[in-house]
Amino acid sequence: MAPPTDATRRSAPDAALFPEITPYATGRVALDAVHTLRWEACGNPAGVPLVFLHGGPGGGCLPHHRRYYDPAFWNIVLYDQRGAGRSTPVAALADNTTPHLVADLERLREALGVERWLVFGGSWGATLALAYAQAHPQRVLGLVLRGVFLATAREIDWFMHGMRTIFPEAWDAFAGFLPPDERADLLRSYYRRLTDPDPAVHLPAAHAWDRYESACSTLLPQAEATARFDGDTAALAIARIEAHYFVHQGFLAPDQLLQGVPAIRHLPCTIVQGRYDVVCPPVTADALARAWPEAEYVVVPDAGHSVREPGITRELIAAVRRMQARLG
């Protein structure tokens, strides 16, 4: 099945995607005494397995995440990571670390009887994709990465402070949400509020965090990019879990993911990066591409960070189609 051509593509963010699709199967995996993971599968049950890793961390999956891949060829698996989306409990931080998420993905693979799969992830999803592939390279057919984030201290500092260079109004609102005596350490101050048990404390902080990130995520303003965090549950999950991972440096050793590239250089990989990505600037994707010269590196000249940027959508679909030709 072919996606719409340029002649039929409309201005709506989803117009270039494959048609809407519903899962042929859904389920849950009990991870431990606290966490339960929710998954779904779409497309061809006998097709080549592909797993989608959402961003955040804490972002959860949405229906449009099913539509970047040919459903006649791929067996498309989507799942919500610990604390995100329809996994339970939502916004929970206990035993929520990168090693836990890597182990969860491997446990899901085993539960579904998948031998190997293509791993597709953007932003934090790219972080987790790299961590998983480096831990389990024998289980990976290849990777498609978008808006690369390596969870380094430099990137976290850029998110908390550097984005004001491009979006000073958004940053002023983000920092200005906090009382003056809490602004010396924005991350720790937000983390204290986001983990406060009182909704009157954590919910306003969550919405302030999400407004800041959303405002910086697209080249031009897009209502669709911000609407998903209007609800309290989704807003709290992504803000609280992101802050949790940022405070702990992504639960990764310094430069762990770059240093781990030699273990996966034999795998096919496409990196798709928006030239004007402010949330995850191109310098990070460029560093990954330099460490991984075999990878295909595509810079979209008219795009920011969001997966819903038209140029990002176009290049992701093309990247998966090239993987399909390679694997088919």
Choose the catalytic residue: 123, 214, 217, 306: 123
Work out the number of other CB atoms within 10 angstroms of the CB of residue 53: 28
Choose the catalytic residue: 80, 214, 277, 306: 277
Choose the catalytic residue: 136, 202, 305, 306: 305
| Cβ atoms of residues 6 and 51 within 8 Å | no
φ and ψ at residue 12, rounded to 5 degrees: -60, 145
Cα–chain center distance at 318:
19
**Which DSSP category does 88 fall into?**
B
Read out DSSP for 281-306?
-HHHHHHHHHH-TTSEEEEETT--S-
The token pair that represents 311 in the structure block: 């140029």
Active site residue 161: no
Active site residue 277: yes
Sheet holding 36-43, edge to edge: 25-30, 36-43, 74-80, 48-53, 117-122, 140-146, 269-274, 296-300
The residues facing 297 across adjacent strands are: 271
The Cα 126–Cα 246 span in angstroms is 16
What residue type is assigned to position 151 of the chain? A
Q: Please choose, from the candidates 208, 217, 240, the residue with its C-alpha nearest in 3D space to the C-alpha of residue 96.
A: 240
220 contacts: CB under 8 Å, gap ≥ 6? none
Tokens 């959303």: give the residue.
214
| Cβ atoms of residues 229 and 240 within 8 Å | no
Active site residue 305: yes
Work out the number of other CB atoms within 10 angstroms of the CB of residue 73: 20
- Annotated catalytic residues are 123, 277, 305
